[in-house]
């Protein structure tokens, strides 16, 4: 009986309430300098291709007007372009973002006899741009890699989608 109750609660809260899951939002206060950091685990952007793009976010009270968006390509090692490598089409207005990070982060994990790879790059943006993205009627995304690009729609209502996660991320910042 307790198992079914817990299962029902998990269904109501969704997997995004669990640390480490796509779109999970958490906050932490630094013991070192007292600043507060809000982080969002990378969440899915709907793409038409076989490739998947995830978007994560980080914010610090030390730089309250800035958000660090992280673009992630899981499944393989991809070179994500630094200069205008992450682009948003916000209701027809194209915004091209560049990264100060020269080299793409490459990560790999070995689990269950398989190697899981991912590539990631961080792009600094003003928080006002993130708020525009969430409030827009239609947002498309383009991630430029060394082999081409991947496009997707930001608002697709998949479980653990990036738009819903960023809304929770911004709400967490506003609560501070």
pLDDT digits (tens, 9 = 90+) for 56-103: 999 999 999 999 999 999 887 789 999 999 999 999 999 999 999 988
Q: How is residue 80 written in tokens?
A: 């994500």
Helices (H) and strands (E) in the chain, counts: 3, 10
- Residues in the chain, pLDDT under 70: 1-19, 49-51, 156-159
Q: What is the CATH number of the domain that holds 71?
A: 2.60.40
Q: At what angle do helices 127-135 and 162-175 cross, to 10 degrees?
A: 130
Largest CA distance in the chain: 55
Domains identified in the chain, total number: 1
Q: What pLDDT is stored for residue 171 in this prediction?
A: 97
Q: What pLDDT is stored for residue 154 in this prediction?
A: 83
**Residue 1 belongs to a domain:** no
């Amino acid at each position: 009986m307790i198992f079914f109750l817990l299962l029902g609660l998990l269904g109501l809260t969704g997997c995004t309430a669990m640390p480490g899951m796509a779109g999970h939002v958490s906050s932490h206060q630094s013991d070192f300098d007292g600043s507060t950091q809000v982080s969002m685990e990378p969440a899915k952007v709907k793409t038409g291709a076989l490739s998947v793009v995830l978007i994560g976010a980080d914010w610090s009270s030390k730089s309250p007007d800035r958000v660090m968006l992280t673009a992630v390509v899981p499944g393989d090692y991809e070179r994500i372009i630094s200069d205008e490598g992450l682009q948003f089409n916000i209701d027809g207005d194209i915004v091209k973002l560049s990264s100060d990070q020269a080299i793409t982060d490459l990560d790999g994990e070995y689990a269950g006899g398989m190697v899981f790879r991912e590539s990631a790059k961080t792009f600094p943006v003003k928080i006002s741009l993130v708020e525009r993205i969430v409030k827009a009627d239609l947002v498309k995304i383009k991630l430029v890699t060394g082999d081409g690009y991947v496009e997707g729609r930001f608002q697709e209502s998949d479980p653990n989608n990036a738009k819903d996660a960023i809304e929770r991320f911004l709400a967490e910042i506003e609560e501070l």
